[in-house]
Structure 1
Amino acid sequence: MGNQEEKKMSEKHRKILEAAIDTFAEKGYAATSTNEIAKKAGVAEGTIFRHYKTKKELLLSIVSPTVAKFVAPHFVKSFSKEVLEGEYDSYEEFLRKLAYNRYEFIKQNFPILKIFIQEVAFHEEFQKPYFNLFKDVILPNFTKVVVHFQDKGELKKLPPETIIRFTISTIAGTIFTQRFLDQKQDFNQELEEAISFLMDGLSPGQK
C-alpha cells in the first residue's frame, strides 16, 4: 500500500514538473501562476505547495536538479563523445558536426533549455554548476581541437578561448534565433552560411 501511495505521489509530482516546464517555457516564469500549473497538471494547487514552498523553489527544482541530472550530463557526455573527441580532417568538418549535433540536441530539449536561457541570467544560483561543467569538461576538449587546427595552419593564432567563443556564439545564435524567430527559412542553408562565415573569419588567409 505504502509503495502504491508513493507511486501515485511520484506520478503527480512528475505531472507537476512537466506542467511547470511547459508553462514556464510558453509564458515565462513571471507570467506563470502556480494555479495555471496545477490546472495543467490536473492537481490541486495545494499539492504543488506540498512539494515546493514557492514558485521560485519549483523553478529551481526544474532548472537545477532536472537539467543538472538529466540534460547537463547528457549534454556534456554526448557532446564530448560525439563531437569533441572525434577526428576531423578540417576545422570546417568539425564545425559541421558540431552545428548539426547541437541542433538535434536543442530540438529535443527545447522547452527546458528555453527556461534555462530565460532564467539563468536572472538567478545567480543557476549559473555556477553550469559554468563549472563547461570549464572542467567542455573547454579542455574544445581547446585541444582548436590548437590541433592552429598547429596545422588552418586557424588564426588567436587565443583558443576567443575562437571557441566566436564558434559557440555563432552556431548557438544561429540555432536559437531560428527557433525563436523565422522557422520558415531554409535552416540547413543558414547553418551552412554560418559555418562559411566562421571559416572566412577564422582562416589565416593568404600570406
Structure 2
Amino acid sequence: MDLNKWADDFFSLMDEEKMSGKQKKILIASIEVFAEKGYAASSTSEIAKKAGVAEGTIFRHYKTKKDLLLSIVAPVMAKFMAPLIVKDFHKVFKQEFNSYEEFVRALFHNRITFIKEHLSVVKIMIQEIPFHPELRQHFSRKVMDQVVSRIESIIIPFQEKGELINLPPKSIIRFTATSIMGLLFGRFILFPENDWDLEQAIEETIQMILHGVEGKGD
C-alpha cells in the first residue's frame, strides 16, 4: 500500500510530539478511510475499527471528527507532504529545457510518479482542500507559493524569446496546471478502472496546452 512509502518518514518527523502507538494507528486508519470514502462520508467508528482501538480512544485525543482531520491530516500536509511535494518538484526544476513543451512533458511524468507513490494522501488533499479553509491555507502557504515562483522563472525566458504567448506567467501556470491535474484526476481518481492509453492522453493534453483547439485553416 502506498501509505507504507511515507509513514515511517512521517512518524520520524513527528517524534517530538511523542505520538503513542494508538495515535499512530489512528493516523494511518483515518487517512485510509478519508481517502476511500471522503471526510463527509466517513465515521469515527469506522476509523476506530480499522485502527483496532475503541472509538472513545479517538475522542480522548480529538474532540470531533473535524478536529481529527485538522489535527492529523493538516500536519501530514504541512510537515511531510508539503516538503515532499516541493522536494519532488525540484527534480524537474534542476533540469534545463529547450522548450516549454519539454518542461510540461517532464512535469507530467514527475506528477504521475508522485501520485502513484502517494495516492491515498493525494486523494485526501484533492477531496478535502476545497471544503476546509484551514487546509487550503496550509497548501497555499507551504506548497503553491514556492512552486509558482519557480515555474515563473522557467516561463519568463521563453516569453522573452517569443516562444510563449505574452500573458501573465500566472495565467499560463493556471492553464497548464488545470490541464495536467484534469487528466491526472480523471486517470487516478475519477475513472481509474477505464482502459487508459496514458501516453497518448498526455501527448494530447500537451498539444492542447501548447496550441489550444483552434484549427490552422488553409
Instruction: Determine if the TM-score, normalized by the shorter chain, exceeds 0.5.
Output: yes
Q: Which moved more, 1:193-202 or 1:69-78?
A: 193-202
1:117, CA displacement in angstroms? 1.7
The partner residue of 2:201 within 153, 175, 190 is 190
Report Cα offsets for 1:160-186 as digits up to 9, x if no partner. 111000110001111111112154211
Establish whether residue 41 from structure 1 lines up as the match of residue 51 from structure 2: yes
Q: How many residues align?
A: 195
Distance, in Å, in 1 between the alignment partners of 2:136 and 2:114 is: 20
Amino acid at match of 1:12: K
Partner SS state of residue 121, structure 1: helix
Amino acid at match of 2:166: K
Counterpart in the other structure of 2:174: 165
Distance, in Å, in 2 between the alignment partners of 1:133 and 1:30 is: 25
Counterpart in the other structure of 2:31: 21
The partner residue of 1:145 within 146, 150, 154 is 154
Distance, in Å, in 2 between the alignment partners of 1:126 and 1:84 is: 26
Greater relative contact order: 1 or 2 (C-alpha under 8 angstroms, separation 6 or more)?
A: 2
Amino acid at match of 1:198: I
Pairwise mapping of residues 1-207 of structure 1 onto structure 2 (< 5 A)? Answer: 10-79=20-89, 81-179=90-188, 180-182=190-192, 183-201=194-212
Amino acid at match of 1:197: M
Gaps of at least 5 residues in structure 1 are: 1-7
1:134, CA displacement in angstroms? 4.2
Contact kept in structure 1, 2:33 and 2:47, CA below 8 Å: yes
Distance, in Å, in 2 between the alignment partners of 1:111 and 1:99 is: 19
- CA 1:46–1:170 in structure 2 vs 1: closer, same or farther (change >3 Å)? same
Contact kept in structure 2, 1:85 and 1:141, CA below 8 Å: no
Partner SS state of residue 97, structure 2: coil
Partner SS state of residue 127, structure 1: helix
Distance, in Å, in 2 between the alignment partners of 1:9 and 1:117 is: 26
Gaps of at least 5 residues in structure 2 are: 1-17
Query: TM-score with structure 1 length normalisation?
Result: 0.88
Report Cα offsets for 1:129-187 as digits up to 9, x if no partner. 22123453112111011111112221111111110001100011111111121542111
Distance, in Å, in 2 between the alignment partners of 1:160 and 1:194 is: 19
Runs of 4+ in 1 over 4 A off after TM superposition: none
